[in-house]
Amino acid sequence: MLISGKKIAKEVFAQIKQELEGEDQKPGLAVVLVGEDPASKIYVSRKHKRAMSLGYHQETHLLSEDTPQEELLTLIDRLNQDEKIHGILVQLPLPNHIDSSLVLKRIKPEKDVDGFHPYNAGLLSQGQGHLIPCTAKGIAVMLESLDIPLSGLHAVVIGRSNIVGRPVAQLLEQHNCTVTLCHSRTQNLNDHLSRADIVVAAVGKANFVHGSALKEDCIVIDVGINRSENGSLCGDVDFDSAREKAKAITPVPGGVGPMTIAMLMKNTLESWKRFHNH
């Protein structure tokens, strides 16, 4: 079975539109991009378009590559105070002269719709997550949509970044999965994969996981966005071989990507609701 993130995301957008019907005050999302990274520009423009289509108040702040850190922090301070803005997202990666962790900490936790502030990361690690990192939250929603009890399943997450792997592992553990978190120092990765009921691949290496390593009837979530040798978009999983083994698998594109944007819109809606005591 193909798990269509595109289809589930559409349902999320329809729900959001319905919730906002008749509201005068709309959620406000500010997206900040520093520099000219081509992939980041595409992601920022997708976020802008989607927010507009939902009727959100949307601001995109485009800053030049050499913007001093202080200037970025001043902009965040201003957005923190702005009552029209309920969600602030600083597109990563930032240029090398800027300290990303300092910038992420400057965003008010209540407006941290990416869920990267240590306060929100701490809540998630204690099982009280509210603003949960969008990709991880999107993966949990996709797994829940399968109507397969997750409790007791063995999940192998490959990748331990704060953006994807670590929060995914925490969420799966909170769904009562038994989680193995793998990374670049993991030995015998294929042994872990051969026992996995759920595999989440967030490595950033094209076709890294081959179907031959997977357990029969597993569920595969492919987070990777890579360019293959012929220039086409591909994930971290070799789709054709994995599809033979898996009972459910996400495609790239059309899998995790649309869910990440859907959860960003959902997090912004949640912040707006808190602000207006809904």
Active site residue 238: no
d(CA 251, CA 165): 18
Asked if residue 207 binds ligand NDP (CB under 6 A), the reply is no
91 flagged as catalytic = yes
165 lines the binding site for ligand NDP (CB under 6 A): yes
**Is 24 one of the catalytic residues?**
no
Q: Which two tokens stand for residue 54?
A: 């939902």
Q: Catalytic: which of 26, 47, 137, 266?
A: 47
Q: What is the DSSP string of 97-141?
A: TS-HHHHHHHS-GGGBTT--SHHHHHHHHTT--SS--HHHHHHHH
| Phi, psi values for residue 269, rounded to 5° | -60, -45
In the complex, minimum distance from the CB of residue 141 to ligand NDP, in angstroms, rounded to a whole number = 13
Q: Active site residue: 58, 91, 238, 266, which one?
A: 91
Which is nearer to ligand NDP, 43 or 272 (by Cβ)?
A: 43
- Whether 135 and 259 have beta carbons less than 8 Å apart is answered as yes
Count of residues that bind ligand NDP according to CB under 6 A: 24
- How far is the C-alpha of 131 from the C-alpha of 79, rounded, in Å? 18
Instruction: Name the residue with tokens 């071989």.
Output: 241
Residue 203 sits in the site that holds ligand NDP (CB under 6 A): yes
| Binds ligand NDP by CB under 6 A, chosen from 161, 174, 180, 241 | 161
- Active site (catalytic) residues: 47, 91, 114
Task: Give the binding site for ligand NDP (CB under 6 A).
Answer: 135, 158-161, 163-165, 182-186, 189, 202-204, 223-226, 256-257, 260
